[in-house]
Structure 1
């Protein structure tokens, strides 16, 4: 942490790139986190003098720049960091040389773009549904896409005790369509189609905000400095809009955004 200012344990684990705050809270609840050898309560604060361990292994403060990856997830890979339970997990598949975790998820039978990072703070910002971050998908279904289907999908469909937000839907072929969502309900597109009597045959995510899918299945690359700069602007703008509408506080600024140290960050890898 570098100073004596107390920091919540979940925030510390997020800032050092170990996991997101949500995941940190789960680890604390499971008793897998210790502070100076003792299991802490939720919300416990620490300073640089405290020793933090997860599963008995010390967690040190991060010194290197954060990593931001774009990955084309193949069908069959599971977006989980639990490598002990799921053999087809995304972490082992990528086998990146540093600890990273996915931002959100794609279903096992789905494919396409997913972002991974070791920056827990940016995970929380991107996952805020109220920020209206766009995600674009190409979908193939088991029968012809009709005008009525497009109209109902775009107007909102009742699933999971709610009604989905209005969204952009465009027919792209006899059995295919494009859909742009600004929310991420569990298996949302599949449930929407099922409600209308359709079955998803293929689902591929091709864009997350300003990041477009440009990789073969199974490969990843680091975000360019231009992509990350624009991503940060989108996150910052939506966060400030949300805060202004829900709180009298107005001190959200670009100084709170992560600063990116651009390098030659183009690389890829695929499983053979």
Structure 2
């Protein structure tokens, strides 16, 4: 990584501001004063600013309670993304583990660990994601049976889900897949409509009720180990 990009990610301002620090001879790499902002650095180099060592994190793991109105994307555009919510010097390295629709809320992992993300999303792992589904019409027992058997959609039949009726119009639905609009399409097949959709757990790891919409926190070591055991 270029030195100016490295320091910009670490919170030392724009690349132009980093260039000023270099000009003022305030930056060293491996005890040598830097003159070239294009110098390449890696984890083996020791970078200091004003004598203080600068360290970037190798792996970053956040749990976000996704609010409505933001998209699960890393691309800049007119619509706010989940990455825009995260304030971190390495935010441009981060991405969501899977996607939630713009109007869907709840549990969303944010990381820079591509290997872990790939494994957690691998359909062969059968990792269940649970959604709280608030419906337009009451759900019947026969509907629950159909959900747990598999719903024939246009291009595929869903794997058997786990469906728990919370009230007449609220169902906790757990699926191990994540196809486009899958939950909404499953209920649409049953002649119903999802009014509100919230992911409340991932692989058995629940969203903490103390985390409000739009808030995020780091995963604990125990939570990270739990996720790794799923794969």
TM band (smaller chain): 0.7 to 0.9
Equivalent position of 2:152 in the other structure: 158
Equivalent position to 2:81, from 76, 89, 97: 89
RMSD: 2.0
Counterpart in the other structure of 1:230: 226
Q: Which runs of 5+ in 1 are unaligned?
A: 2-56, 236-272
Contact 1:210/1:227 (CA < 8 Å) preserved in 2? no
Asked whether the 8 Å contact 2:120–2:230 carries over to 1, the reply is no
Q: Is the 8 A contact 1:210 1:231 kept in 2?
A: no
Of residues 206, 212, 226 in structure 1, which corresponds to 2:206? Answer: 212
**8 Å contact 1:210–1:230 — kept in the other structure?**
no
Structure 1, residues 40-89: CA drift from partner, whole Å, max 9, x if none?
Answer: xxxxxxxxxxxxxxxxx999656633011100001111000001x24211
Rate the CA distance shift 1:127–1:61 in 2: closer, same or farther, 3 A: farther
Unaligned 5+ segments in structure 2 are 2-37, 44-55
Q: TM-score, normalization: structure 2?
A: 0.73
Q: 1:139 to 1:58 in 2, by over 3 A?
A: farther
Residue 107 (str. 1) matches residue 113 (str. 2): no
State the Cα distance separating 1:150 from its structure 2 match: 1.0
SS in 2 for 1:163: coil
Partner of 1:64: 57
Q: 1:60 and 1:154, CA in 2 relative to 1: closer, same or farther beyond 3 A?
A: farther
The alignment partner of 1:148 has SS state of helix
CA shift for structure 1 position 139: 0.5
TM-score, scaled relative to structure 1: 0.62
Q: 1:145 and 1:121, CA in 2 relative to 1: closer, same or farther beyond 3 A? A: same
> Which of 131, 137, 143 is the matching residue for 1:149?
143
Number of equivalences: 179
Counterpart of 1:175 (choices 169, 172, 175) is 169
Q: Does residue 80 of the first structure (1) align with residue 78 of the second (2)?
A: no
Distance 1:181 1:64, change over 3 A: same
Q: For 1:124 and 1:142, locate their aligned partners in 2 and report how far apart those are by CA, in whole Å.
A: 34
Give the Cα separation in 2 of the matches to 1:156 and 1:139. 17
CA contact (8 A) 2:107 2:202 kept: yes
Whole-angstrom CA distance in 1 between matches of 2:102 and 2:40? 31
**1:147 Cα shift?**
0.8
Deviations 1:172-217 (A, max 9, x none): 0111111111111111100111111111000100111142101111
8 Å CA contact 2:96–2:108 kept in 1: the answer is yes
* C-alpha distance 91-149 of structure 1, shift in aligned 2 (>3 A): same
In structure 1, the residue matched to 2:185 is 191
